[in-house]
Chain A
Amino acid sequence: MIAGISIYEIFTLTSILFFIGIYGFTTRKNLISILISLELILNASAINFVVINKYLYPDVLQGVFFSIFIIAVAAAETALAVAIIINLYRQISSVEVKDTEIMKY
């Protein structure tokens, strides 16, 4: 644990990051920007897993495993999303949400 820092301060930091992510997710109109906001949300929750593990249950490692799995799933999700975005751009020449009416062709 971090000397002099309580668990409340870290939770405050992660909550702020999470809600900045949600703000970006709802106000942005571009598929790539939405992907960026999603990364912020996922990272905030991954820090929470690790911090709860370290501060409350230091004898086990469950939180670390869960954050490793979160990172793996996020990597897979980003790769797929980028593939979909590039394919979409090839067909409709735009990555704006409002132009994305058909994803099936």
Chain B
Amino acid sequence: MEKIIFYILALIMIVFAFASVSSRKMLRSVIYLLFVLIGIAGIYFLIDYNFLAAIQLTVYAGGIIVLIIFSVLLVHHIEMELEMAKLFKKLLTGLVCLIGLGVFLATIYSTNFIVVENFKTTTVDEIGMGLLNYEAGGFILPFEVISILLLAAMIGAIIIGKGDKLTKNDDTL
């Protein structure tokens, strides 16, 4: 049963990922990306990391996609078609990507992974205890650094987004 679900999810993700990078309509390409992200959340559900799947759905599907859709609507006409690369360039890039994929797969399939059989479920409080643990192996420092990074990104986005107006106001004062 889980096997069939995984294959269906994999098929959906690959088809929509390809549609997302080759569609000529901007908004459709964003919606195809949304399907890929939901498929990734499905994979997280399948391997029993429910908290991560919830984060993926809220932050990516709920936050980032909406942000990208807003920016598309602000800078494009809906019917506008995108300029594409030349066919020769596309074929060349596709060939290089296929060679890279071949190298990746050859390396992966020639490595012998020591898989530990387990069906554990991770609870949210285990993740929370790990993130706030300040002993060896704890993640309190990166956690704090990420919070500073998010604050800095927020202030930076406001200042860049405001652009001209902030400096002009300074001049008049």
- Chief secondary structure at chain A's binding surface: helix
- Give B1's nearest chain A residue, CB to CB: A3
Rounded to whole angstroms, the CA-CA distance of A80 and B130 in the bound complex is 29
State the majority secondary structure of interface residues on B: helix
- Number of A residues with CB within 8 Å of any CB on chain B: 73
Hey, which chain B residues are within 8 Å of A26, CB to CB?
A: 93
Q: Which of B44-60 contact A (CB under 8 A)?
A: 44, 46-49, 51-52, 55-56, 59-60
Bound CA–CA A42/B38 (angstroms): 15
CB–CB B21/A28 < 8 A: yes
CA distance A82 to B157 in the complex (A): 8
Chain A proximity of B110: nearest CB distance (Å)? 11
Is there a chain A Cβ closer than 8 Å to B134's Cβ? no
Number of chain B interface residues as a range: 35 or more
User: Known interface pairs A57-B116, A58-B120. Does A30 touch B157 (Cβ–Cβ under 8 Å)?
Assistant: no
Q: A23-B94, A29-B84, A32-B75 are in contact. Are A40 and B49 (CB under 8 A)?
A: no
- A29 CB to closest chain B CB, in angstroms? 5
6 interchain residue pairs of minimum CB distance: A24-B21, A76-B153, A4-B3, A83-B157, A83-B161, A58-B118
Q: Which residues on A are within 8 Å of B, measured CB to CB?
A: 1-13, 15-24, 26-30, 32-33, 35-37, 39-40, 43, 46-47, 50-51, 54-58, 60-61, 64-65, 67-69, 71-80, 82-87, 89-91, 95-96
